[in-house]
Amino acid sequence: MAKKKLRKLSSGKVLIFRIKNRRGFAAVCMNNLTEGRSPQQAFERMIKAVKRSGFALAGNIPKAR
């Protein structure tokens, strides 16, 4: 099977915020929502979710809002 070509995507498109009625953080990007106990974990899970759509996130973790 041929390897999928991943298109680059800036990490600035990812929005990380604190979940009010739960414990932890959430990340939103391109109709994907991921949750994690820390902003780093939410961002790492977002990298995997976006990769399934054919994109590769590049850059640092954005600040949580």
Supply the DSSP string of 38-50, one letter for each residue: SHHHHHHHHHHHH
Domain range list for the chain = 7-58
pTM (2 d.p.):
0.90
Are 55 and 6 contacting, i.e. CB atoms less than 8 angstroms apart? yes
Query: What is the band of 2 on the pLDDT scale with cuts at 50, 70, 90?
Result: confident
Mean pLDDT, all residues of the chain: 93
- For residue range 5-55, list pLDDT tens digits in order: 999 999 999 999 999 999 999 999 999 999 999 999 999 999 999 999 999
